[in-house]
Amino acid sequence: MPDDQIPTAGHISESQTNDGGRTVHLSGRMTIRFIDPISRRLRELETDPAPLTIDLADIERIDTAGAWVLYRTRVARESAGLPFALTGASGKAEELIDQICSHTKPVKIRPDLTPGFIRTLEKLGGWIIFSATTFGGFLSFLGLTLVSLGKVIAARRAFRWRAFVNQFEAVGVSSLGIIGLMSFLVGIVVAQQGAVQLRQFGADVFVINLVGRITFRELGVLMTAIMVAGRSGSAFAAQIGSMKLAEEVDAMRTIGMPPIEVLVIPRLVAAVIAMPLLAFYGSMLGILGGMMLTWVSLGIPPATFIQRLQEVVPLTDVWVGLIKAPVFGLVIAVTGCFQGMQVRGNAEDVGLRTTAAVVQAIFLVIVIDAFFAVFFSAIGWN
């Protein structure tokens, strides 16, 4: 290394002035590599009552670490009301010190504590804004999906049957086991609890009415929708979210493949078609569970149970469940795909959006079910 490129360590020397003050002469380099001894000495001089002058005429180089040490010394002495002067600084050194001064501002370690009522209002307002924005985005995505589906049907574009079959298998066939087991157990629970209450009035036989009507009308389709939302809705969000993260969705747009037609519509159609089948299957397993419980606990044979079921359960109850099922499938599929399309940034967002897809789908299913209950009651399907 040439001699003129060898780093020169910083040096510090002191002298007394005629007025009893102290002059500190700094030379060499005031960089982060050599600043430590200079920093320690200037720290000791911060409380010295004698006037202090720092001479920078022989400084070869100064960086932000050196400039900050000088700024720290000046602030400490000025705060204590002690004389301080800085001389001999070059133009670049003065500019660097000025920048340090302008950018060094006190920062609160803890923010000011706002009243609890104000914090509650802020959280409530933020939640309302977030909910309104999310709901607006959901409606926009739903409209875009339906328009794209209409274009596929009207223009007779090639429907992606292979993707539809794969998604139908994932939503429907692969769900038969867990939905059947859950519906069977729910039917047992409903029959058991109904039998306990009705036995007090000697009306055990009306357990069949309870199990039949509530299963076909409400529990069968509702519990199936919740299971599909937790199983398939989350899968839709995670799959599309992972593709967004890997920029596969952008690649589809680049090569002229609309993501809505490729990713969303097959999942939507599969969920809409599979949900009525799953709902009916779940209702039948729920009825089977209730029949088993009444046979074992109440001694009602299966033949009597089925005959009574045909007498007390109107066909409208079956239609109510089958009408609600495709609407629930539509909501679950659109919610899962919408949340998947909202993934941004990193893998953590995939998990957050997947959770949001399940929660929002279940919430919307219950809300829509309440509207259906009011609607069917208004038209006389009680």
Count the neighbouring beta carbons within 10 Å of the beta carbon of residue 341: 21
The single residue listed with the structure tokens 């609607």 is 375
Provide the pLDDT for residue 119. Answer: 86
Q: Which two tokens stand for residue 209?
A: 């009415």
pTM here is 0.71
Whether 236 and 350 have beta carbons less than 8 Å apart is answered as no
Average pLDDT over residues 262-284: 94
| pLDDT at residue 10, rounded to an integer | 67
Answer yes or no: is pLDDT of 1 > 50.
no
Please work out, in degrees rounded to the nearest 5, the angle formed at the alpha carbon of residue 245 by the alpha carbons of 161 and 130: 100
Token look-up 């370690």 returns: 109
Instruction: Flag the least confident range among 7-11, 13-17, 22-26, 205-209.
Output: 7-11
For residue 74, what pLDDT band results from cuts at 50, 70 and 90? confident
Q: What torsion do the CA atoms of 128, 133, 134, 140 make, to the nearest 10 degrees?
A: 150
Average pLDDT for 26-36: 83
Dist CA 287 CA 281 (whole Å): 10
Tell me, which fold does domain 3-103 have in CATH?
Answer: Transcription Regulator spoIIAA (3.30.750)
For 45-71, how does the pLDDT look when each residue is reduced to its tens digit (9 = 90+)?
A: 888 888 888 888 888 888 888 888 888
Task: State mean pLDDT over 243-256.
Answer: 89
**How do the domains of the chain map onto residue ranges?**
3-103, 137-378
**pLDDT by residue (tens digit) across 331-342?**
999 999 999 999
**pLDDT recorded at residue 359:** 94
